[in-house]
Structure 1
Amino acid sequence: MDTTPYTRSTSTDAALQKESRGGIVALIIGHCAGLMDITALPIWVGMVLVGSLALEPQKAGFLLTLFLGSVVLSSLYFAPRLTRINRRRIQPMAYALAGLAFAWMTQVGSNYGLLATTHVIAGLSVGCGLSIVHGTMGGTGNPHRTAAIAFTMLSLVSTLMLSILPPLVGRIGPNVFFYTMAGIMFIASLAGLLAFPQIDKVAKHESLAVSRLPARVWFAIAGVSLLMVTHSMILGFVERIGVSHGFSTAQITTVLVVSGLANLVFVTLSGPLGSRLSAGWVVVIGPLIQATAALTVAQLSIYATYIVGTSIFISVLTFTHVFAFGLIARMEPTGRVLAATPVMIMAGSAVGPLLGGMLAQHVDYASLGWAAVAFGLLAATSFGLATRGLR
């Protein structure tokens, strides 16, 4: 497998590299806001929807499926139009609307119809903003390095969130979570308004005229989506799994914090290791490690195993995805696929919570581990087909 860094030297790259540091910071903040929903799944599903609002696991999972499915639909609409829209105007507006939707969730209580409506609005808005952010990130000179920095910051913010919010949700109630998400979206909107890169009329060669994607790109897309099915299915219920094992809230919160710190270490290493490890091997082995960790978390009621398994499960996803981002950027350099990164991530993530909720409600939480193994094998196979022959 080829181990060279994923760098490109096109006119688009040169234009993007002239942007200010503020523009890069705006992209990173937009990335963190758009993917905060994934990292917040244990709080959102387990503590807020099931624990505080007393929804059944299947209904709670369906709300997240509505949100993530809306992200997918929005991204499918905006990704092909990336080079024809005013990114500096639309991105701040999208995140501002998402913030308003999360703020509205604090007013609806346990009204399931209104919860569903607000989740759809928030999802459509996040999908728009995140598509613009990722499409712009994909046009940088070294997409792997840009993604590594962005995921490192996401990991840092997520660790803080996972350590602070659980006790606050327990003491204050679910609204503290929704207000936090609204605040994050408003910050991303403000950052985009002040400093989003001025690249609206750049990248003429990225014109999305109809052309067929290579088969290997489709396999890579499928691999990312399958990774996210496993991730959201387990992470959304990892707090409930801990409860089913008999662990206390304090113990589970400790696990979330430790796993966040472990993820921060691994994603920080993903940047410098980009030129030293074969991306082709990383994306094949990563899903297998992820599935093994998920099985361990779901099946074993040993606290030490729960900590280690959850930490590995979360860390390997981020590490693998950074390499997949760079790999896809090299396979398909126009940026149109990377603009659809939310589709890849959220399509898989949309399936996970609903599937996990159905299995948990009608079988048990332990069954989630075996489902993770099945999806892990499918993801490894997809990535294997995508990278076959790359030397």
Structure 2
Amino acid sequence: MQDTQPPGLEGQQRDGIPGRIALVAGHCAGLMDIVSLPVWVGMVLIGQLGLQPQLAGALATLFLAAVVLSSLCFAPRLNRLRRERITPTAYALAGLCFAGMMFSRDYAALAGLHAVAGLAVGCGLSMTHGTMGASTNPHRLAAIAFTALAVLAIAFFGVLPPLVQRLGANAFFATMAGVMGVAALCTLIAFPAHWKLAPPSQAGVRLPSQVWFGMAGVSLMTLNHAMVFGFIERIGGWHGYTAAQIGLVLVVSGIANLFPSALAGLLDRRWSATAVVCIGPLVQAAAGLLVTQGNSFSMYVISASLLISVLAFTHIFAFGLLARQDPTGRVVASSPVMIMTGSAGGPLLGGVLAQHLGYGSLGWAALAIGLLAAVSFRLGARDKSSATPVHATATTQGRAHG
């Protein structure tokens, strides 16, 4: 991957505030599943519904796998779809599915609802991220969106865990249904359909090989995140920490995530994006190892906070790079594939490791996966042999802007 300036887009426009708000709402709803993994898997599916870690992880994995399949279907067709109609419909359907989970405890029914909700979220998030790639500054809009997600996460972790303890699993399902409903309303009212992406015919059909390495790197980082952070509540209990201490860690993690997202927006084009995406996975791997192997509460707090903040910081730089390399929007529209491919395997992999080898094994797995992610990003930075029309366009215009 190379640090390039944004390539030319058809119909370049000023980014209106209502449109940005709608996209940020869609972004937050589409990624709430990642943010909520500790509550979803640990507190709700395992703690409230009494599922074994492997079965609980399988439900989350089913949802995330459905997101991937949906995005694989919709992202390549981004330029040919009515995004302003499809997006609110998708989030409304997801909200209905989460509401339906309040009325059933049958595993097969829950699995079906998780699958349909995942398909809907994948569609909505593909439309949202693909349109974000058409903004005048995709990196900065992504930073704003991740900062908003961090604010939402603070409220989520501060309010929801006690509610789940008092009211049960339905408190979580109702909250998720509400988040999806708000996103459906915002995108229905203000989705920026006038933001135009360059059609594939103008940028060349073939994508540069660097893009694929970058996508793999993002997927490996999200795999690490879901595998460890999805069980952060259970890891805390394994260390012997109280429910109050673990709740504090979740809130602190949300607060800590505010700063990297905002900082990433300020450092756009000041820091080398290639360096950031190569170093980020290594920091995340170290945090994953420390959160499981550390022997103090302060280390647990710091490591848990790093897990989510490093991912957000690195992903914003990766999002900006990929958006600049592919003006058709197909790559950033595939963000759900990158994010959820890793995230889908994380809960299941973490559940299997925890059930058979103990929670300590998650740290060593995180170290290995982090190294693979760093190598993938590094290969993306070095592989320049597969230059394509997309790459050439981005590089030429980057030099012109430079």
TM-score interval (norm. to shorter):
over 0.9
Tell me how large the CA RMSD over aligned residues is. Answer: 1.7
Q: How far off its partner does 1:208 sit?
A: 9.1
Q: CA deviation at 1:331?
A: 2.2
- Closer/same/farther in 2, CA of residues 208 and 229 from structure 1, 3 Å limit: farther
Partner Cα distance (2:108, 2:201) in 1 = 40
Matched, 1:366 2:360: yes
Paired residue for 2:176, among 165, 168, 181?
Answer: 181
1:10 partnered with 2:9:
yes
Tell me the distance in 2 between the aligned counterparts of 1:219 and 1:9.
23
Residue 36 of structure 2 is matched in structure 1 by 40
Q: How far does residue 330 in structure 1 lie from its aligned partner after superposition? A: 2.1
Q: CA deviation at 1:77?
A: 0.5
The 3 A distance-change label for structure 1 pair 204 and 113 is same
Distance in 1 of aligned mates of 2:352 and 2:198? 46
**In 2, Cα distance between equivalents of 1:21 and 1:171:** 39
Tell me, yes or no, if structure 1 residue 118 matches structure 2 residue 124: no
Deviation at 1:45, TM superposition (A): 0.3
**Offset at 1:178?**
0.4
TM-superposed CA distance for 1:198, in Å, is 2.3
Per-residue CA deviations over 1:204-243 (Å, capped at 9, x if unaligned) read 5345998222111110010000001000001110000000
Contact 2:6–2:323 (CA<8 Å) still a contact in 1? no
Task: Choose from 16, 22, 25 the match for 1:26.
Answer: 22
**Contact 2:79–2:199 under 8 Å retained in 1:** no
- Over 3 Å counting, the alpha-carbon distance change for 1:209 and 1:9 in structure 2 is closer
d(CA) in 1 for partners of 2:171, 2:3: 45
Q: Does the CA-based 8 Å contact 1:45-1:236 persist in structure 2?
A: yes
C-alpha displacement of 1:314:
1.1
Structure 1 residues 136 and 207: CA distance shift in structure 2, 3 A: farther
CA deviation after TM superposition for structure 1 residue 294, in Å:
0.5
Distance in 1 of aligned mates of 2:361 and 2:190: 46
The alignment status of 1:321 with 2:315, answered yes or no, reads yes
Matching of residues 195-344 of structure 1 within 5 Å = 195-199=190-194, 202-207=196-201, 211-344=205-338
**1:294-349 CA-partner distances (Å, limit 9, x unpaired):** 00001123101000111111110000000000111122222111111100000110
Equivalent residue for 1:168, pick from 159, 163, 167: 163
Change (3 A) 1:204 1:332: closer
In 1: Cα distance, 2:134 partner to 2:379 partner:
25
Does the alignment pair 1:108 with 2:100? Answer: no
Task: Name the SS of the counterpart of 1:276 in structure 2.
Answer: coil
Whole-angstrom distance in 2 between the partners of 1:203 and 1:166: 41
> Percent identity among equivalent residues?
57
User: How far apart are the structure 1 equivalents of 2:17 and 2:201?
Assistant: 26
Q: C-alpha separation between the residues in 2 aligned to 1:207 and 1:226?
A: 31
1:86–1:31 Cα change, 3 Å? same
Structure 2: segments with no counterpart, 5+ residues:
385-394, 396-402
How many residues were matched structurally?
A: 385
Q: TM-score, normalised by structure 2?
A: 0.93
Q: Deviations over 1:99-123 (max 9, x none)?
A: 00000001012x1101100100100
2:310 and 2:337 mapped to 1: Cα distance?
Answer: 20
Q: 1:363 to 1:29 in 2, by over 3 A?
A: same
Distance 1:90 1:101 in 2: 17
Please list, as runs of the form range in 1=range in 2, the aligned pairs for 1:34-73 lying within 5 A after superposition. Answer: 34-73=30-69
Cα offset, 1:203, TM superposition: 3.2
How far did 1:199 drift? 2.7
For residue 301 of structure 1, what is the amino acid of its counterpart?
Answer: N
- Are positions 1:128 and 2:123 aligned together? yes
CA gap 1:208/1:169 in 2 versus in 1, 3 angstroms: farther
CA distance in structure 2 between the partners assigned to 1:2 and 1:206 by the alignment: 20
* Structure 1 residue 9: Cα displacement: 3.5
Paired residues of 1:95 and 1:185 also in contact (CA < 8 A): yes
Query: Separation in 1 of the partners of 2:305 and 2:42?
Result: 18
Q: Deviations over 1:80-139 (max 9, x none)?
A: 111111111110100000000000001012x11011001001000000000000000011
